[in-house]
Amino acid sequence: MDHTRRSFFKTSALAVSAASLFSSIPLFQVKSQSGKKMKMTYRPYTLELKHVFTVASLSRTTTPVILVEIEYDGIVGYGEASMPPYLGESQESVIAFLKRVDLTKYDNPFDLETILSDIDALAFHNTAAKAAVDIALHDLVGKIVGQPWYNIWGYDKNKAPNTTFTIGIDKADVVKEKTKEAAGFKILKVKMGKDNDKEMIESVRAVTNVPLTADPNQGWKDKFYALDMIHWLKEKGVVYIEQPMAKERYDDHAWLTERSPLPILADESCQRLSDISKVKGAYSGIVIKLMKCTGMREANKMITLARSFDMKIMFGCMTETSCAVSAASHLSPMVDWADLDGMLLIKNDPYRGTTVVDGKLTLNNLPGIGITAK
């Protein structure tokens, strides 16, 4: 036997013994066969916003959420459903949905595809409620294997982008004040779509020179106005535009995207994986949010699909606690831009997790989604 063959046999023997070693400790199977069950609990919670938050359609000072916990073998995974009014979900509708979710029929929390597909099939909508279960299950599974999700997926947490900080629509002096408070952020998102678009930008520009993004939230009625405004916004240092016009106006958005000097991103027009093929061609990219797309599992698939179409990706959020924002942050190394400031807009965050340091999303080394209860 020559040397090469000998070392081959030596290596294979090692490989075999390593394989048999692993198969002799099917770590999780042992647990799943021991009759332990997942147990889900949930409670309503009201987020108190630091400022009145105004977008094109309405103003508000609170956001209702449901906080979810899934316990298995003494390990607890955390999840959250956040319900801004326009999503059409409420604490009541989320609780009604969660009552229909029976996790005790699954022996293995690692069966994410099966469990989450079954839950998705329970109802047509309820995306925030579904996201709450998805996030809690991911947190649980990450904690069982002792790894953060960016490691499980193989994403480099150091590639997490800067996050925008959102400036809501307001009077000029208030906007200037909010912009001063946002010093330290490397990029700001400006809400528009009411009757003071230029004033909003000029008020922010009176305070800072950082790059801006603009979100009219479907507030622009006319495509020619939109195109003129986008040219003006480019001169003012805006880098992309979210959802300029009503979400069902695909043809007008295609017209706009073809002529726009800035990327146009589909937010309200693109909620789930299946929407990507509908907005492809009409927009330059998509905005992914866990509450729209049912959670981390589908969001990760959306990233892969949008990339395959060469589309830009922004990862956004609602006003949320550090739970849902931290969950989203594990996917952020794979996107172009992030707007993950939800936990910074509230006064009563019950968790600690991903933070923003010098404007950049900064993930910790904790397993799961990386949060701890305060």
Positions that interact with Mg ion (CB under 5 A): 215, 242, 267
- Answer positive or negative: Cα dihedral of 363, 367, 373, 374: negative
Measure the CA–CA gap between 317 and 339, rounded to whole angstroms: 7
Closer Cβ to Mg ion, 215 or 298, answer by number: 215
CB of 267 to Mg ion, least distance (A): 4
The least CB distance from residue 217 to Mg ion, in Å, is: 6
Cβ contact 212:190 at 8 Å: yes
- Smallest distance from Mg ion to CB 215, Å: 4
Q: How far is Cα 49 from Cα 22, in angstroms, rounded to an integer?
A: 49
Residue with Cβ nearer Mg ion (38 or 286): 286
d(CA 345, CA 354): 14
Nearest distance, CB of residue 287 and Mg ion, angstroms: 6
User: What is the C-alpha radius of gyration for the chain, rounded to an integer number of angstroms?
Assistant: 23
Name the 3-class secondary structure at 36: coil
Nearer to Mg ion, 178 or 191 (CB): 191
- Least distance between Mg ion and beta carbon 371 (Å): 24
* CB closest to Mg ion, residue no: 267
Pick the closer one to Mg ion by CB: 215 or 320. 215
Q: Read out DSSP for 256-296?
A: HHHH-SS-EEESTT--SGGGHHHHBTTBSEEEE-HHHHTSH
Closer residue to Mg ion (CB): 242 or 341: 242
